[in-house]
Structure 1
Amino acid sequence: MKIDWHSGPFSRETALDAHYRNTQKVRRFLVSQCGPGFKFDRAFMAWVKDTRPLTLGQVADEWVRRQQAMTGN
Protein backbone atom coordinates (compact mmCIF):
# COMPACT_ATOMS: atom_id res chain seq x y z
CA MET A 1 0.00 0.00 0.00
CA LYS A 2 1.39 3.39 -1.00
CA ILE A 3 1.71 5.85 1.87
CA ASP A 4 0.41 9.39 1.49
CA TRP A 5 3.32 11.32 3.02
CA HIS A 6 1.24 14.48 3.11
CA SER A 7 -1.58 13.16 5.27
CA GLY A 8 -0.45 9.98 7.07
CA PRO A 9 -1.40 8.52 9.46
CA PHE A 10 2.08 7.71 10.76
CA SER A 11 3.45 5.58 13.56
CA ARG A 12 6.89 4.44 14.64
CA GLU A 13 6.28 1.33 12.52
CA THR A 14 5.55 3.26 9.31
CA ALA A 15 8.07 2.03 6.73
CA LEU A 16 9.78 4.51 4.45
CA ASP A 17 9.14 3.54 0.85
CA ALA A 18 10.56 4.59 -2.50
CA HIS A 19 8.08 7.50 -2.54
CA TYR A 20 9.11 8.91 0.86
CA ARG A 21 8.81 12.67 1.12
CA ASN A 22 9.96 14.95 3.88
CA THR A 23 6.60 16.66 4.40
CA GLN A 24 5.29 18.92 7.14
CA LYS A 25 3.22 16.00 8.44
CA VAL A 26 6.37 13.84 8.69
CA ARG A 27 8.21 16.67 10.45
CA ARG A 28 5.37 17.08 12.94
CA PHE A 29 5.47 13.36 13.67
CA LEU A 30 9.25 13.45 14.19
CA VAL A 31 8.97 16.51 16.47
CA SER A 32 6.46 14.53 18.54
CA GLN A 33 9.01 11.70 18.82
CA CYS A 34 12.24 13.70 19.15
CA GLY A 35 11.18 16.93 20.82
CA PRO A 36 10.86 20.53 19.68
CA GLY A 37 14.53 20.74 18.65
CA PHE A 38 14.07 18.28 15.81
CA LYS A 39 15.26 19.43 12.42
CA PHE A 40 16.66 17.86 9.29
CA ASP A 41 20.16 18.69 8.14
CA ARG A 42 21.99 17.53 5.02
CA ALA A 43 23.95 14.74 6.71
CA PHE A 44 20.85 13.36 8.42
CA MET A 45 18.76 13.52 5.25
CA ALA A 46 21.53 11.70 3.37
CA TRP A 47 21.46 8.96 6.03
CA VAL A 48 17.67 8.69 5.74
CA LYS A 49 17.79 8.41 1.95
CA ASP A 50 20.74 5.97 1.90
CA THR A 51 19.63 3.64 4.70
CA ARG A 52 16.79 1.38 3.64
CA PRO A 53 14.64 -0.24 4.83
CA LEU A 54 13.78 2.16 7.64
CA THR A 55 10.78 2.96 9.78
CA LEU A 56 9.90 6.37 11.13
CA GLY A 57 10.75 5.02 14.58
CA GLN A 58 14.26 4.18 13.43
CA VAL A 59 14.60 7.66 11.92
CA ALA A 60 13.53 9.24 15.22
CA ASP A 61 15.86 7.00 17.24
CA GLU A 62 18.83 7.84 15.02
CA TRP A 63 18.19 11.56 15.31
CA VAL A 64 18.04 11.28 19.12
CA ARG A 65 21.22 9.16 19.12
CA ARG A 66 23.07 11.77 17.05
CA GLN A 67 21.93 14.57 19.33
CA GLN A 68 23.07 12.66 22.40
CA ALA A 69 26.45 11.95 20.78
CA MET A 70 26.90 15.67 20.03
CA THR A 71 26.01 16.76 23.56
CA GLY A 72 27.72 13.88 25.34
CA ASN A 73 24.52 12.72 27.08
Structure 2
Amino acid sequence: MKIVVDLNRCQGYGQCAFLAPDVFVMHGEESLLYAPYADESRREDVLRAAAACPVQAIMVEGSHAG
Protein backbone atom coordinates (compact mmCIF):
# COMPACT_ATOMS: atom_id res chain seq x y z
CA MET A 1 0.00 0.00 0.00
CA LYS A 2 1.12 3.55 -0.63
CA ILE A 3 1.30 6.09 2.18
CA VAL A 4 1.28 9.84 1.62
CA VAL A 5 1.85 12.32 4.44
CA ASP A 6 1.12 16.00 3.92
CA LEU A 7 4.26 17.28 5.63
CA ASN A 8 2.94 20.86 5.46
CA ARG A 9 -0.04 19.80 7.54
CA CYS A 10 1.88 17.46 9.89
CA GLN A 11 2.48 19.06 13.29
CA GLY A 12 4.80 16.37 14.66
CA TYR A 13 2.44 14.97 17.30
CA GLY A 14 3.97 11.52 16.72
CA GLN A 15 0.84 9.43 17.23
CA CYS A 16 1.63 7.59 14.01
CA ALA A 17 5.11 6.70 15.26
CA PHE A 18 3.61 5.11 18.38
CA LEU A 19 1.07 3.08 16.43
CA ALA A 20 3.22 1.99 13.48
CA PRO A 21 6.87 2.52 14.48
CA ASP A 22 8.21 0.45 11.59
CA VAL A 23 6.52 2.81 9.10
CA PHE A 24 6.62 6.23 10.82
CA VAL A 25 9.59 7.61 12.77
CA MET A 26 10.01 10.95 14.47
CA HIS A 27 13.37 12.50 13.59
CA GLY A 28 14.10 15.08 16.22
CA GLU A 29 11.17 16.74 17.94
CA GLU A 30 9.08 17.78 14.95
CA SER A 31 10.32 16.07 11.79
CA LEU A 32 8.56 12.95 10.54
CA LEU A 33 10.21 10.30 8.39
CA TYR A 34 8.06 7.57 6.87
CA ALA A 35 8.13 4.67 4.44
CA PRO A 36 6.06 5.64 1.38
CA TYR A 37 5.22 1.98 0.76
CA ALA A 38 4.30 -0.52 3.45
CA ASP A 39 3.59 -4.22 3.32
CA GLU A 40 -0.06 -5.25 3.38
CA SER A 41 0.58 -7.04 6.67
CA ARG A 42 0.96 -3.58 8.27
CA ARG A 43 -2.37 -2.27 6.92
CA GLU A 44 -4.27 -2.34 10.23
CA ASP A 45 -1.54 -0.46 12.11
CA VAL A 46 -1.11 2.09 9.31
CA LEU A 47 -4.86 2.73 9.13
CA ARG A 48 -4.95 3.19 12.92
CA ALA A 49 -2.03 5.61 12.67
CA ALA A 50 -3.80 7.59 9.94
CA ALA A 51 -7.01 7.73 11.98
CA ALA A 52 -5.10 8.86 15.10
CA CYS A 53 -3.41 11.80 13.36
CA PRO A 54 -4.84 14.93 15.03
CA VAL A 55 -4.50 16.96 11.83
CA GLN A 56 -5.41 14.13 9.39
CA ALA A 57 -2.13 14.50 7.47
CA ILE A 58 -1.85 10.79 6.53
CA MET A 59 -3.50 9.25 3.48
CA VAL A 60 -3.39 5.57 2.62
CA GLU A 61 -3.73 4.84 -1.09
CA GLY A 62 -4.34 1.54 -2.81
CA SER A 63 -6.67 0.30 -0.11
CA HIS A 64 -8.40 -2.98 -0.84
CA ALA A 65 -11.37 -3.04 1.50
CA GLY A 66 -12.49 -6.51 2.25
User: Normalized against structure 2, the TM-score is what?
Assistant: 0.29
Query: Which structure has the greater CA radius of gyration?
Result: 1
Greater fraction of residues in strand: 2
Higher relative contact order (Cα pairs below 8 Å, separated by 6+ residues): 2
User: Normalized against structure 1, the TM-score is what?
Assistant: 0.27
